[in-house]
Structure 1
Amino acid sequence: MALNLQGKKAIVAEVNEAANGALSAVVADSRGVTVGAITALRKEARANGVWMKVVRNTLAKRALEGTDFECLSDSFVGPSLIAFSSEHPGAAARIFSDFAKKNEKFELKTAAFEGNVVDAAMLATLPTYDEAVARLMSAMKEASAGKLCKTIEAVRVQKEEQAA
């Protein structure tokens, strides 16, 4: 479908706006994936605060100029699907990784976080906010239980010394 200049400017502005409000970005190649599968992916992405769009490479490069995701410019070769995570840095990478496991034709190209190209698999394994809080609470709970055990042991040793 041919786009006029206004249409191209609108796409560049839309992608640029999404990039400026995003925490991370992921670029993938969706050649050979069925429309139904991509529709399901879009639905899951929307539910997790991920903005995604198939964008022409030249328009994507222009849209990312001056943003934290300018480092992704080299990855725009062939058909590209770009996704921006606005709520959690690993959301788009996690969704795309899970989708790639189910659809072998779907290929993750690259990911970016805080202006640097990063491994998409690493980004996908980042814990969510709730998971990180749960891990922290678990560690704090274990530490306090350890202190309690040490205190009880110290009291026991002290009583044994007094008894002797």
Structure 2
Amino acid sequence: MAFSRQHKEVVVDQYREWIDKSKAVYYLTYNKMTMSAINSAREKLRESDSVMHVVKNRLFTRVLEEKGYQFDPQTWEGNNVVVFALEDAPATAKTLSEITKGNDIFAVKGGYLDNALLDARQVRALADLPTLPVMRAMLLGTILAPASKLVRTLAEPARGLAAVIKANSEKQTNAA
């Protein structure tokens, strides 16, 4: 289907906006895609604050070039969908891994994280990373562990003194 120049400009502007808002961009190839498959994938991706769009390869690569992204033109041949990770790049990669597992419709080709080109293997490695909330919890636990241990250590002599005083008062109460 031929697009007018004005429509192409609108599409290119939309691609620019999506790239600018994204923490990461992933691209996948698809074969024999059905509407139910893409709707299911989009629904799962929405849960990780991501969006999936079928792109016009020539227009999208023009935006990539303009933004200074490296790419192999052969990668952008055939049917492609692009996933824009708006919040958490590892969570989106994990969702893509789940979508493509045991599925011959979608296959991850690669992506971009902070303007760096990723191949499919690196995207899978990114999927193995913990999500942002999990990483924050791990960091918080690491930071708080020494502090809570210090508090327990400092409170222990007072607890011991309180136990001695209580035992002494109970002894005096029983003696009377």
TM-score calculated relative to the size of structure 2: 0.73
Aligned residues: 151
Structure 1: give runs of 5+ residues left out of the alignment: 156-164
Superposition RMSD in Å: 2.4
The whole-number CA distance in structure 2 between the counterparts of 1:62 and 1:87 is: 24
- Report the counterpart of residue 122 of structure 1 in structure 2: 125
- C-alpha contact 2:57 2:77 (8 A) present in aligned 1: yes
- How far off is 1:39 after superposition? 0.6
Kindly report which structure 2 residues correspond to 1:9-88, keeping only aligned pairs within 5 A, or say none. 9-67=9-67, 70-72=69-71, 74=73, 75-88=75-88
| Residue deviations 1:44-101 (CA, integer Å, cap 9, x gap) | 2223221221112101101223326x22453212111011111112233222111000
- Secondary structure, counterpart of 1:84 in structure 2: strand
Q: Which amino acid aligns with 1:80?
A: N
User: Which structure has the bigger radius of gyration?
Assistant: 2
Residue 158 of structure 1 corresponds to none
Q: Is the 8 A contact 2:90 2:132 kept in 1?
A: no
Q: Is contact 1:32-1:106 (8 Å) kept?
A: no
| TM-score, normalised with respect to structure 1 | 0.78
Taking the aligned partners of 1:7 and 1:148, their CA distance within structure 2 comes to 64
Q: 1:67 to 1:127 in 2, by over 3 A?
A: farther
Distance 1:72 1:44 in 2: 27
Contact between 2:31 and 2:104, CA under 8 Å: does it hold in 1? no
Higher helix share: 2
Q: Distance in 2 between matches of 1:104 and 1:145?
A: 50
Between 1:96-105 and 1:70-79, the stretch displaced more is 70-79
